[in-house]
Structure 1
């Protein structure tokens, strides 16, 4: 497919960033766009592993803290959790629309990465952190601070949103490979064996190296 067809189908605004980066060389720009697709795909294993392990780890800790699997129900009258309560209500509404039961497992699966990362916000320092820090038992003690965990998760959340909204990943600051490394670091904090397993599925470093060779 030629560049004009790509512009017609994807819009000049979307492809303009690629063309500008290659000084108008549309052949190289089209190759960059292809690599961006492949890098987005290659990000999925890390994002998948991190999000699922994170939410299950949080669920385990909060279930123990509140003594019930539907721990979010204890927040209903607490104004500190207004935003989180809205997210839970939205998750329940989606299940209702699909005529699915509102079991704890179903609700957990519907809640967004933004919901899980929000539990490490400053406002929950004295409410949740004492228990949630135990999700990251393999994080070195000098790094296992709420603000460090929150910063890493927010960075991954922003990256996840870029991937899912099909945005350019080639020219991020920090670079895509650096942000990917943050995700792998968090997975190591959760469970090092999981990071080892991910490495057998993770094509992002190889694909990133390929693109860097072509971009020289």
Structure 2
């Protein structure tokens, strides 16, 4: 495809940053755009798998058949002003499934997004869970994660929340079709940079390992993130 047609399709404004990062070589700019798409697809797939494992680990730690439904009932652990947003999110999904006439605890879990599971490690939600005698921070040991998040101290809840927040950040960027092959700290239209992706990628890998997951086996044949990063750096 000619670069002029390509630019018209994706918009001049969007294509500009790829042109600037490629010294206005349109061929390289188009290649960079495609590499960014490949990188986004690969990383989003990994994050999706990570999200499934995270929510299942939390659910297993809770070890109650319908704890999410019970948590938002009258007198439930999230039935408090401090947890009102969490309660509203769960209730909305619960009502949606019930309207379809096919409720199950597993379906409710699947309806809740990454942000909800991340927010369970905020102080109010976490303490509400902790008051039941359950400690969801046990899902991870964080031994290999800490060097990547520059976090000191031994507040495990806070550390897990920070890690999940960083992973959720890049997830949302990909979901909103924002490019991830640039480092925004270096300027919006200046240069390509894969440090941001590499760091988030390593957080995902390390967090899974700290949840006792065999990442090599899990992502066998699926993980090409670092290879694509290398292609971007070499372009």
5+ residue gaps, structure 1, are none
Taking structure 1 as the reference length, what is the TM-score of the superposition?
0.85
Q: Is the 8 A contact 2:78 2:86 kept in 1?
A: no
CA change 1:94–1:3 in 2 (3 A) is farther
CA distance in structure 1 between the partners assigned to 2:159 and 2:173 by the alignment: 21
| Alignment CA distance shift 1:18-1:167 (3 Å) | same
Structure 2 residue aligned with 1:176: 197
Structure 2 match to 1:70: 69
For the aligned residues, what is the CA RMSD?
2.5
- Render the CA deviation track for 1:173-211: whole Å, top value 9, x for unaligned: 652111110111111111232x23234131111221122
Q: Deviations over 1:86-143 (max 9, x none)?
A: 211332354357x25221100100100000000111334533366011111x433976
Q: Normalised by the size of structure 2, how large is the TM-score?
A: 0.79
Q: Residues 83 and 124 of structure 2 are in contact (CA less than 8 Å); yes or no, is this contact kept in structure 1?
A: no
The residue number in structure 2 matching 1:185 is: 206
Structure 2 gap ranges (5+):
145-152, 185-194
Q: Which has the higher helix share?
A: 1
**Are the aligned partners of 1:162 and 1:168 in contact in 2 as well (CA < 8 Å)?**
yes
* Distance in 2 separating the partners of 1:167 and 1:147: 28
Secondary structure (helix, strand or coil) at the match of 1:16 reads helix
Is 1:156 matched up with 2:167? yes
Q: How many residue pairs get matched? A: 210
Task: Name 1:24's counterpart in structure 2.
Answer: 24
SS for the counterpart of 2:30 is helix
